[in-house]
């Protein structure tokens, strides 16, 4: 489905400048991107050295904004490649004066240009696009090429927390985790039947739960 460009998008993004970094979205080649690093300075952005959690593909930001309120002792960086969607996340954070969250409009492919090596304690992959067609396997956010990037960004012992409604994508992800030598800490094939304390429900999770779909969850460690 094609989304209409939001009105005054550029001005609105500029108004969120204090909590937003905008990358060059044409940049998809990690090799080229890494030649000119523009690493986020966490101390400058957050004013502290709290642990950093990263959400990749944050959409409208419901999850990360709630997490930032619940966990003021964590610094959250939320990444999304579509500005039209990200603006909603940023404007909600601004309107609610949420601290401890920074937004990065960027393709996950070039994250090491912006996120310092081994600086992240946890990565959230919430309802990433399953991209079932074989031709798009490499775009899946749990494809080994992305797992290599996450390994580079995560601290030793850091974790990836994944949730999805798509069983085939979940199984593909578990295989990818194994292929990349990540340690699978926990696997849940029905989150409603085995809830965990502190689960924050994302926009897509709410929709899929309302449709009666099962939610799958994995935690893996580098
Ligand atoms: C299905 S939505 C899920 C949004 C949100 N996490 C939720 O659970 O409601 C997936 C999001 O990931 C973003 N995304 C997909 N591939 C990406 C990439 N390579 N880099 C950054 N964001 C990406 C999409 O633009 C989309 O907004």
- Per DSSP, the residues of 36-54 read S-----HHHHHSS---EEE
Nearest ligand 1 atom, CA 128: 10
**163-185 pLDDT, tens digit each:** 999 999 999 999 999 999 999 99
CA of 116 to the centre of ligand 1 (A): 21
Query: Could you tell me the pTM of the whole model?
Result: 0.96
Burial (CB count within 10 angstroms: exposed 0-12, middle 13-18, buried 19+), residue 38: exposed
How far does residue 127's CA lie from ligand 1's centre (Å)? Answer: 7
Contact 125, 161 (CB under 8 A): yes
Which of helix, strand or coil describes residue 59? Answer: coil
Ligand 1: centre distance to CA 108 (Å): 10
List pLDDT tens digits, range 54-99: 999 999 999 999 999 999 999 999 999 999 999 999 999 999 999 9
Q: Give nearest CA residue, ligand 1 atom 4.
A: 59
Domains of the chain: 1-116 (3.40.50.150), 117-222 (3.40.50.150)
Nearest-CA residue for atom 14 of ligand 1? 57
Q: Locate 24 and state its tokens.
A: 């060059």
- Nearest-atom number in ligand 1 for the CA of 55 is 6
Give ligand 1 pocket residues (Cβ under 6 A).
57-59, 79-82, 85, 107-109, 126-129, 141, 202-205
Select from 81, 106, 126, 211 the residue to mutate for testing ligand 1; criterion: most ligand atoms less than 8 Å from CB. 81
Q: Ligand 1, closest atom to CA 58?
A: 6
User: What is the predicted pLDDT for the residue at 29?
Assistant: 75
pLDDT digits (tens, 9 = 90+) for 48-60: 999 999 999 999 9
The tokens 């990037």 sit on which residue? Answer: 149
């Amino acid at each position: 489905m094609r989304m209409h460009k939001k009105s005054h998008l550029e001005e609105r993004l500029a108004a969120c400048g204090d909590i937003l970094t905008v990358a060059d979205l044409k940049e998809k080649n990690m090799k080229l991107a890494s030649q000119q690093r523009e690493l986020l300075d966490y101390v400058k952005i957050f004013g502290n050295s709290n642990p950093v959690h990263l959400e990749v593909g944050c959409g409208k930001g419901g999850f990360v904004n709630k997490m930032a309120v619940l966990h003021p002792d964590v610094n959250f960086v939320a990444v999304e490649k579509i500005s039209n969607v990200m603006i909603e996340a940023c404007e909600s954070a601004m309107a609610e004066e949420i601290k401890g969250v920074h937004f990065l409009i960027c393709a996950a492919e070039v994250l090491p240009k912006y996120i310092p090596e081994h600086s992240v304690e946890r990565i959230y992959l919430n309802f990433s696009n399953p991209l079932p067609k074989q031709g798009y396997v490499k775009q899946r956010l749990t494809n080994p090429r992305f797992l290599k990037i996450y390994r580079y960004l995560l601290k030793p012992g850091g974790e990836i927390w994944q949730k999805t409604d798509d069983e085939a994508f979940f199984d593909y992800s578990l295989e990818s985790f194994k292929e990349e030598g990540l340690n699978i800490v926990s696997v849940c094939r029905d989150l409603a039947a085995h809830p965990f304390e502190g689960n924050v429900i994302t926009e897509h999770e709410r929709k899929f739960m309302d449709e009666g779909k099962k939610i799958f969850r994995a935690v893996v460690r580098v």
